[in-house]
Structures are given as C-alpha cells and as structure tokens.
Structure 1
Amino acid sequence: MHGCGFRCAGIILIAATLFGCDKPSPPDSKEAVRPVKSFIVEQADASAIRSFPARIDAGRKADLAFRVAGKVEQLSVKEGDHVEKGQLIATLDITDYKIAYNNRKANFDKTKKDYARAQELVKKGHISKMDYDRLEAEFKGARSALESAQQELNYTKLTAPFKGVIAKRHIENFEEVQAKQVILDLQDITTLEVKFDVPESQLRELQPDRESPESRRRQIPVKVRFSDLPGKSYPLTFREVSTKADAKTQTFQVTYTMQQVDDVTILPGMTATAVVDLSGFLNNGQRHLVPATAVVGDSNLESRAWVIDEQSMTVKSRKVKIGRLLGSRVEILEGLDPGERIVTAGTPFLLEDMQVRLLPDREQAEPRTQELNNQ
C-alpha cells in the first residue's frame, strides 16, 4: 500500500508540476471550446470485475509407459476410451522375460537346496563356517535375482493407475518401445482445472488474509465462461497460486477447479474466460477505478478530477481521495459518483467553467475490459 501511495503521489507531483509550468494561455474568446477525452465513472461493483483469458486442464493426468522395453503385443484401448482403475490396457511380448525368469528360477532352486544341506552339515561340523556363509550368500543372491525377474515379468503389463479417459495414444500394436517411453496419456476429467495468469498488481488484490484461518482468495467469487456458451457461467474453487513469476510475462499462474458439467462437454485444452468479482473485498465495494490520467494535483498537491457537466458542457474541478495505483488505473475512494463523466486527457489546459466538447468514441481510450486484462 505504501508503494502504491508513492506512485500515486508521483502522479500528483507530475500533474502539479504541469500546473506550475508555463503553458499556453487559454484563448481570449469566451466561445473557445476545448476537445477532451472522457470517461464515465462506473458502479463500484462493475469496476471491481476482472476478466482473464483462461485454459482448461485435467484435474489429474498421467503419462503412461512401460518400465521395461519390448514389443507391444496388445494395446486394448483407443483415444477417448474410459478406463477403470487397475484395468489392463496394454501388454508386451513376455517371451524373453519368461526365459530370464525360468533361468533364475532354476538357479534359485539349486542354491536353495545347497543352502538347506549346508544348514545340516554346518551343525555336524562337516563343512566350515566360511563355506556355509558362501552358500548362504549364493542363495540370497539367487532369491533377489528371481524377485527381479518376477518384477520385470509383471512390468510387461500396463494398468490404469486411476479412473479416467485415454486422451492420446502415441503408438500402435506390435511396435517396439523403450523403457519409460510414453505410450498413452490418461486424464481424469471429472474435475477440471481452470488456469489463468494474473499480473503482479492484481495478484496483490488476491493475497490471502494471513490472520484468518481461511484464505481470502477462497472467498472471492470466481466463475468461468465460454465464448460459444453465451449467458452461461460456472463457479470455480480456488486451488493454488504460483509464487514465482513467469520469466517472460512477469505474471503469476492461478489455478481454480470446477466439476465436470452435464449440459455441455468441457475438455482439457479448451479456452475460456475467468471472471473474478472483487466488489465485496475492495474497500467494501465503495471504490471506483478510473484512468490515472484523470487525476491531477493542484498547487497544494491535493488530488483533483475534472468533472463534466453534460448539460452545459462545462468542467469543474473536484477534490478526490485516491487509493492504490493499479496498472493504468487509480482507485478513487471519495469524491466521484457513478455515472459522472470526467476528463482523462487535456486536464492541464482546463479552467473552471471552461466549455469542452467530447472527442468521438473512436478517439477515446481503449475499452475498459481490454485495459483491465492488460494491467
């Protein structure tokens, strides 16, 4: 909050400097009309709505691979198939692994018998303790080798670790595969993840209340919308937020979850829009966000905004109380009402009761939603 205060103070100081510098005197003609860019102050709840491009991901996913190499003998699933936990989905040719198992089994049987005889002979003193230890070690080594062979034989079968859907199949039957080569992508889409990137300035608004047992983020209403489903939105539940910014975009990834819905198919990889409603958490919803260029400083370094009287098309300056600087916008805590039109460009050249005209819409600032997304 202190950092934002410094930045807001910087805006006021710059504006005050502009007031104090020499500038062209206004025209002598009382009929002179100054063209200005303007902005209509929105309702507090509307100004606290954030929209972010989002992407859908599976709630749980796994890349399936064999732990041993071999030729695929059977691949019993295709893309889009639903599988149950523990279901057999692929097998390798077991010929080589069976031969290795039988060889180690024969060696195990031999060393087991030798070790059993040695136990009797060492008791009677017919063999030395050294020979007994050697036979015992050979037996234990053969047992471990047999267990390893059995494990490799088991690894020739691939089963589903959880209930889900086969998202992608990377191989076909009878292909040779290497150990740990991904052959199938499995996804659980009963729960979906909605991920979106949040700029640093807006991440602060989502910071948890560390004095409360429950994170503040969990209380903020967040919904997801899809462009091809007008009028529909689905509630989300907070899961996690990254604590390291992306090196390229300097944004933080936020993850929410949603349950799969019955009325429409939502799949991983789809795009959506996450809508965050901060109206109930920012100064009790009583603040407004306006372009930072609308706030100027007077000779006493007090923050002021120029309000347009749309009946007479004249302007008057009004004292306002500012809060934090959020991207290209600043919080107005007091001094402005919803629906009022304020000047956003040309403020250093305005005088009290000066007549103005509004620039056409195409020359105004970019739409609010796009600006908020770029904060």
Structure 2
Amino acid sequence: MNTFSYYSLGIALVMALGACSSGSRDTGAGLPGGNDVIPVRVQPLAAKGSAGTVAATGTFTTDDETALAFRSGGIIEQLLVREGDPFRKGQLLAAVESTEINTALQQVRLGLEKAERDYRRARQLYADSVATLEQMENAKTALDAAKQDVERASYQVNHTAITAPFDGYVLQRPVNVGQVVGPGTPVLLVASKAKGGWLLKVGVSDRQWSAIRVGDAATVTTDAVPGKELRAEVTRKSEGVDPQSGVFNVYLKLAEAPASSLASGLFGRATIQLEQTSDVWFIPYEALMDGDAGKAYVFVTNDGQTARRVAVNVSAIQQDHAVVTAGLEAGGSLIVSGSPYLRDGSHITIK
C-alpha cells in the first residue's frame, strides 16, 4: 500500500469518529445531567383524618340461619315442609326410613340379654369356686360393652327424624322424598323470624377485608325498601376465603329493619365507613413511581433544593388520587411533576 492510501484511510477514520461523537451528543440533547438543576412542581404533605369507605354487595340473611341434616344417612321417608313454609319449635320436619337402624337396635338388645345371663352364671360359678375371678371379670366387661352398644343404637334411632329447633320458616329444600342422603348432608335450610336481627352478608377482597374492623359503621340500601338507608355495623368477619365465591365474607348487622320488608336472599348494597386507625395521605397517582403490590416510590423535598426518594405503602387507587398509608410521616413537600428525571439527591428548583 502506498503513502496516499494510508493518508486516505486516516482521514476516513477521523471523519467517522467525528460523526459518531456528533450523533452521541444529539441523542442526549435535552436530558438533564447528574449535576443539572431540575424544575419540579410540589404540593404540601398533610395527613387526612378519614380512611375512606368500602362499597360491597351481598344478600340478606338472619343470624341463626341453619342447615339441618340427619345424624345417619338413609332413604328420606318424609318431608313435611316445602320452601317458604313456616314451622313451630319441636315440629317434625323430615324423617328417614328406620328399618335398618331399628333392626340393629334389636340385635344389640339381644346381645345385652345374653351378656346379662353370662355374667349372672359366671358370678354364681365364681361363688361356688368353679369359675376363676378372671372369668367373672371378663363376663362383667362383656356386659358393660353390650350396654354401650344398646345406648349407641338407641341414639341412632332417636336421630332418624328432624324436628324444628326454633320457630321459623324454610329457606331451601334441596332434597326430595325417596332420595338417599349421607350423614350430615343438608336436607333443609331454615331460618328464624329474625328475632336476633337481620344480617347483610357481603363479599370483599383481601385488601378490603384487612382494612375493615368489627364495629365499623355502614349504611345499607335495598330495592325491597326503596329510598331509605338502613344503619348497620360490622358484626363479624370470616377467617378464611369462601371456596365457592373466592372472596372474604363480612357480616353487617342491621340496627333496625322495617317489619315484613326483608327476606333471606334479598340483594343489598352496603357502604362501610372504615375506622381511622392511622394517618393517610391522598396524593396524585402521577407522583407514584415503580408501583408493585401495594408498594411504590415517590420523591419528596424538605428544603426545596434536594429531592429525596422514599418508599410508601399504597392501600387503594381511587378516582383521581392514590391512598398512602405509610412512608410520608416525615412531612415536607411531595414532588408531583418532574419525577421521571429525578434520582435520590437530585438538585431541584420549584416552579
């Protein structure tokens, strides 16, 4: 290669490097550097006195709604009530065929008679020094076991029928006469006349469940009582998720309900007023950075010259703001614009 070729190649490399440098400068134009002062907008941080509300829907029930079932399974022989029927305490509601259970009772009674004869004979033989003490004691043990068998069989016979535990009415009758049911299978769903009060059973998410406290006040509305808000309060919360609906159940007890206006299963809407347990902050959701599963970051400033990155807990995102429950206790001012250009310790100027 001659001298001219080396010279031409050197000029080409210099021009290429210059072009790359120029391109790099153009790409970064307009972005603040690490020492730049970044203009931002801020708003004062002040904790609010309200923790907000939870809206939920559900159905009305009573505080003694009960599923009735047979102690032992069998073929249903009698169903003496239908859905919606009223009943009185002690009234016979349903029964299963008892032939098999009665036969078992007769068998154990015969066994008891034999055990009694064996024990009397063993006791007499022991008194005549023919039988040993062990033989007499074994006969006594067999007698005691036979008595227990009779008691167990009698208990089974006494539970072949279902009687009403209180005055009430039938909500559901999921079975029919002639159907075979197993032990514990619900036969009748019943409720009282709501003497203990009406409940609205609502489903909420896990985050709402954790925010709701027993005793929180609520208002309830239903189409069955149009134009009226019913006062209620949270009386209990489920300790596990409902496997059918996948939500957590919360029970609201009505302070009072219009007579004959409510029925189990009616639809209702509730607004639960959360009890204030700690300070909360309502901030623009544009100020949040890197949100994930209730955690996020915001930038604040205490001196108006330096930005500080802090972690916050976000409990809810509402119409035009986010609800923060922790992380802003130090006060200062929240940076609401310019956050994407900031790093922890960035220099700022307030617009």
Cα 1:203/1:289, change in 2 over 3 Å: farther
| Structure 1 partner of 2:144 | 140
Q: CA offset at residue 234 of structure 1?
A: 1.4
2:129 maps to: 125
Bigger Rg over Cα: 2
Shift of 1:169: 1.0
> Is the counterpart of residue 71 in structure 1 residue 75 in structure 2?
yes
C-alpha deviations, 1:243-296, integer Å up to 9, x for none?
667899997543221267344532333322212346x95899xx996754599x
**Secondary structure at 2:123 match in 1:** helix
The letter for the 1-side match of 2:200 is V
- Tell me if 1:226 matches 2:222: yes
Q: Partner residue of 2:262?
A: 266
Give the distance between the partners of 2:75 and 2:238, measured in 1 at CA: 41
The one of the two structures with greater contact order (alpha-carbon pairs below 8 A, sep at least 6) is: 1
Rounded Cα–Cα distance in structure 2 between residues aligned with 1:174 and 1:200? 43
Cα separation, 1, equivalents of 2:260 and 2:55: 22
Out of 101, 107, 112, the residue aligned to residue 108 of structure 1 is 112
**CA separation in 1, counterparts of 2:166 and 2:192?**
8
The residue type equivalent to 1:192 in the other structure is: W
Q: How much does 1:224 deviate?
A: 0.7
Equivalent in 185, 188, 193 of residue 181 of structure 1: 185
Distance in 2 (CA, whole Å) between partners of 1:75 and 1:166 is 12
Give the Cα separation in 2 of the matches to 1:205 and 1:131: 69
Distance of aligned partners of 1:254 and 1:291 in 2 relative to their CA distance in 1, 3 Å threshold = farther
After TM superposition, the structure 1 = structure 2 runs for residues 1-375 of structure 1, keeping only pairs within 5 Å, are 20=38, 48=52, 50-188=54-192, 190=194, 191-198=197-204, 206=212, 217-218=214-215, 220-227=216-223, 229-242=225-238, 253-258=249-254, 261-277=257-273, 281=276, 292-293=285-286, 301=301, 326-328=316-318, 329-330=321-322
SS of equivalent to 1:133: helix
Residue 221 of structure 1 aligns with an amino acid whose one-letter code is: A
Identity over the aligned pairs, expressed in percent? 21
Distance (whole Å) between structure 1 residues aligned to residue 84 and residue 243 of structure 2 = 35
The alignment of Structure 1 onto Structure 2 pairs a total of residues equal to 266
Q: Which consecutive unaligned segments of at least 5 residues does structure 1 have?
A: 1-18, 23-43, 208-216, 304-322, 333-343, 349-375
Query: 8 Å contact 1:202–1:326 — kept in the other structure?
Result: no
**SS of aligned partner of 1:105:** helix
Q: Could you say if the C-alpha distance between residues 267 and 115 of structure 1 is closer, same or farther in structure 2, counting changes exceeding 3 Å? A: same
> One-letter code of the match for 2:152?
S
Secondary structure of residue in 1 paired with 2:106? helix
Verify the 8 A CA contact 1:72 1:173 in the aligned structure 2.
yes
TM-score by length of 1: 0.55
| TM-score normalised according to structure 2 size | 0.59
The letter for the 1-side match of 2:225 is: L
The 1:55–1:20 alpha-carbon spacing in structure 2 relative to 1, beyond 3 Å, is: farther
Q: Indicate conservation of the 8 Å contact 1:238/1:255, yes or no.
A: yes
- Pairwise CA RMSD of aligned residues? 4.6
Partners of 2:241 and 2:78 in 1: CA distance: 44
Distance, in Å, in 2 between the alignment partners of 1:250 and 1:152 is: 37
Offset of residue 97 of structure 1: 2.3
- For the 8 Å contact 1:201–1:327, the answer to whether it is kept is no
Deviations 1:171-208 (A, max 9, x none): 2223333333322112346133223345676667645x
Going from structure 1 to structure 2, the CA distance change for 1:327 and 1:116 (only over 3 Å counts) comes to same
Q: Partners in 2 of 1:272 and 1:238 — Cα distance?
A: 15
Counterpart-to-counterpart distance in 1, 2:236 and 2:192 = 19
CA distance in 2 between counterparts of 1:200 and 1:288 reads 21
TM-fit CA distance, 1:86: 3.6
